[in-house]
Structure formats: structure tokens, C-alpha cells
């Protein structure tokens, strides 16, 4: 699959001023947060589910709008609610790996990090899902973590637009501010359950439709990317 990805240029390690040069080329090949595309499309992503009472509502909304999304699910939550995992996949949505138990990967030992990534994927495989996308909890991952993700056959995906951040920054104006900033190729971050975010999500999806922007999964966005 030939894709053109816009890479994260500032790694967590660089941001922390860790010693040793970050091999930027390697980071660029391994992490991305938006996609270069000529199509009027964005990706919609939901983290931290499945969460009963919330995930279903999102799935209903996506179905009503004729849209798809990538759900970065937490392995142990998937284990607890297999019915919701099946509901996600049967709706034409995509599932990505968000680790087994949502630990802060930059705070744990290397073998714990590796296990979190592997166990999250193993849980999804029980549903016939072989995740190709990985999102680190809190969006933070070390260079070693990215290598572990890549070795597991997955790609690390962050985001370029966050609904929750917009809500805390702009309050009632969040949706209009977002709509003025969203561009084709953006990857939008939302969560299955955050106060006030479902209402914002409804208005955002309606606004994206008015702008002629199609919402889909990360894979759908990448498939339509400029080669
Ligand atoms: Zn998370």
C-alpha cells in the first residue's frame, strides 16, 4: 500500500529534551497524525471504548449519518463487552489497538509496554480483527514503543484535531472553531464517553457534511491518500 503520510515531527522524547538525537526519519516513517490527500475526506477516531451506554449512541449516530470511524478500543474493555465490539465491526467501522489496560506507556517498564501492545492486539484477534493501527494512551509513546508497535505489524496513529481539546479551549464556540479549521486529511480524535462531547460530535458531523467532507475510518482515509 503506497501512502503519503504527514509525520509527527516532534516526538515525545524530543519534547522532554531526552539526551540523544531522535532519528527523525525513523519517527516520520512510524508515526503519523494526518494524511495528505486530494479527496474531501477526514478520519474520525474514538478512543477508550467500548463503554456501555456511550458506544451504542455513537454507532447509532454514525449509522444515521452514513459515516464510519476507527475505534481504538482498550483490550480489557473489549473483553468485558464482546457484544459492543461486534456492534462496532458490523457497522462497517474499524477497530484499532489502544493497549490492553490503558497504562501510560512512557511510565512502565519496557516488557510491560510490549505486553500491553501485544495483549491488546491478541484480545482483538478473538473477534477476527487483526489491528493495523495503534494509538498510544494519552498520545504518548517512546521511540522504543514505536519500534514495538511496528514489530507487531501495526502503525502508530495520533491525531490532528481533538474535539475534547476544542471543548476545553473554546467552550460553546468549539464546533464552529473546529469547522473553520478542519481540512481534508485530518484525523479527528474523540472519545466514547466525555462530558458534553456527544452533543458537539453531532453538530460537528452535520457541519462536516455541509462542508462536503466525508468522515471515514483511518484505513479509508489512507486508501484515498495521494501516492
Ligand atoms: Zn485513551
State yes or no: pLDDT of 59 exceeds 90: yes
| CA of 126 relative to ligand 1 center, distance in Å | 21
Mean pLDDT is lowest, of 112-116, 197-201, 210-214, 217-221, for 197-201
pLDDT over 70 for what percent of the chain? 86
How far, in Å, is the centroid of ligand 1 from the Cα of 192?
10
Where are the domains positioned within the chain? 5-223
Query: Tell me, what's the pLDDT at 206?
Result: 96
- Which candidate in 68, 98, 102, 191 is catalytic? 191
Residue 69 Cα to ligand 1 middle (Å): 16
pLDDT tens-digit map of 66-124: 999 999 999 999 999 999 999 999 989 999 999 999 999 999 999 999 999 999 999 99
Half-sphere exposure of 52 toward its Cβ, with a 13 Å CA cutoff? 6
On whether the CB atoms of residues 160 and 194 are closer than 8 A, the answer is: no
pLDDT digits (tens, 9 = 90+) for 111-165: 999 999 999 999 999 999 999 999 999 999 999 999 999 999 999 999 999 999 9
Q: Which of 18-27, 60-69, 134-143, 162-171 is least confident?
A: 18-27
Ligand 1 center from residue 227 Cα (angstroms): 30
Tell me the C-alpha distance between 141 and 223, whole Å: 25
Q: In this predicted structure, what is the pLDDT of residue 196?
A: 78
On average, the pLDDT of the chain sits at 88
Selecting among 47, 115, 148, 192, the annotated active-site residue is 47
**Is the pLDDT score of 3 beyond 90?**
no
117 Cβ contact partners less than 8 Å away, ≥ 6 residues apart: 97, 99, 134, 145, 148, 149, 152, 154
Give the model's pLDDT for residue 30. Answer: 75
Fold entry, domain 5-223:
TIM Barrel (3.20.20)
Confidence band (pLDDT; 50, 70, 90) for 29? low
Full-model pTM: 0.87
Question: Strand 41-47 and strand 31-35: pairing?
Answer: unpaired
Known catalytic residue at 47: yes
Compute the Cα dihedral for 82, 83, 85, 86 and give only its sign: positive
Three-class SS state of 47 = strand
pLDDT of residue 65: 93
Q: Would you place residue 212 in the very low, low, confident or very high pLDDT band (cuts 50, 70, 90)?
A: very high
Please answer whether residues 72 and 120 qualify as being in contact, where contact means their C-beta atoms are separated by less than 8 angstroms.
no
Ligand 1 centre to CA of 48 (Å) is 5
Distance CA 206, CA 202 (A): 6
How far does the centroid of ligand 1 lie from the alpha carbon of residue 135, in Å? Answer: 8
Residue 157 CA, ligand 1 centroid: distance in Å: 12
Give Cα separations from 204 to 91, 143, 181, 183 (angstroms). Answer: 20, 34, 12, 13
Residues with CB under 5 A from ligand 1 (ion): 47-48, 137
Run of H or E residues at 94: strand 94-97
**What percent of the chain shows pLDDT beyond 90?**
82
| Residues 22 and 14 sit within 8 Å (Cβ to Cβ) | yes
| Closest to 41 (Cα-Cα) out of 189, 161, 193, 185 | 185
Q: Answer yes or no: 110 catalytic.
A: no
Amino acid at each position: 500500500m503506497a501512502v503519503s503520510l504527514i509525520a509527527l515531527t516532534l516526538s515525545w522524547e524530543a519534547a522532554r529534551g531526552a539526551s540523544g538525537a531522535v532519528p527523525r526519519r525513523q519517527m516520520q516513517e512510524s508515526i503519523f497524525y494526518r494524511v495528505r490527500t486530494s479527496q474531501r475526506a477526514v478520519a474520525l477516531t474514538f478512543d477508550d471504548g467500548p463503554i456501555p451506554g456511550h458506544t451504542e449512541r455513537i454507532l447509532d449516530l454514525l449509522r444515521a449519518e452514513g459515516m464510519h470511524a476507527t475505534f481504538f478500543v482498550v483490550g480489557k474493555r473489549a473483553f468485558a463487552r464482546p457484544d459492543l465490539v461486534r456492534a462496532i465491526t458490523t457497522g462497517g467501522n474499524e477497530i484499532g489497538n489502544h493497549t490492553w489496560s490503558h497504562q501510560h506507556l512512557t511510565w512502565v517498564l519496557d516488557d510491560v509496554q510490549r505486553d500491553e501492545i501485544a495483549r491488546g492486539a491478541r484480545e482483538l484477534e478473538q473477534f477476527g480483527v487483526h489491528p493495523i493501527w495503534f494509538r498510544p494512551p494519552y498520545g504518548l509513546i517512546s521511540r522504543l514503543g514505536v519500534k514495538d508497535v511496528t514489530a507487531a505489524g501495526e502503525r502508530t496513529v495520533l491525531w490532528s484535531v481533538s474535539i475534547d481539546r476544542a471543548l476545553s479551549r473554546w467552550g460553546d464556540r468549539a464546533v464552529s472553531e473546529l469547522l473553520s479549521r478542519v481540512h481534508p486529511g485530518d484525523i479527528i480524535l474523540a472519545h466514547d464517553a466525555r462530558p458534553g462531547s456527544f452533543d458537539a460530535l453531532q453538530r460537528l458531523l452535520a457541519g462536516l457534511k455541509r462542508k462536503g467532507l466525508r468522515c471515514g475510518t483511518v484505513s479509508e482515509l489512507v486508501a484515498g491518500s495521494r501516492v
